[in-house]
């Protein structure tokens, strides 16, 4: 569970500032 939480947190922190850049790479976020 720890690794899963870390993965989600890191993903959120990484996708937050570069949401526009990764918008075309990643599908539409469903938790926003």
Q: Distance (Å, rounded) from C-alpha 32 to C-alpha 27? A: 12
Instruction: Give the predicted TM-score (pTM) of the model.
Output: 0.40
What digits encode the pLDDT tens for the residues 1-32? 889 888 888 888 776 665 555 555 556 665 55
Helix (H, G, I), strand (E, B) or coil at 18: coil
* Domain ranges (residues) in the chain: 1-32
Q: What is the pLDDT of residue 32?
A: 55
Q: What is the pLDDT of residue 6?
A: 86
């Amino acid at each position: 569970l720890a690794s899963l939480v870390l993965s989600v947190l890191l993903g959120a922190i990484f996708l937050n500032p570069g949401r526009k850049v990764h918008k075309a790479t990643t599908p539409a976020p469903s938790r926003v």
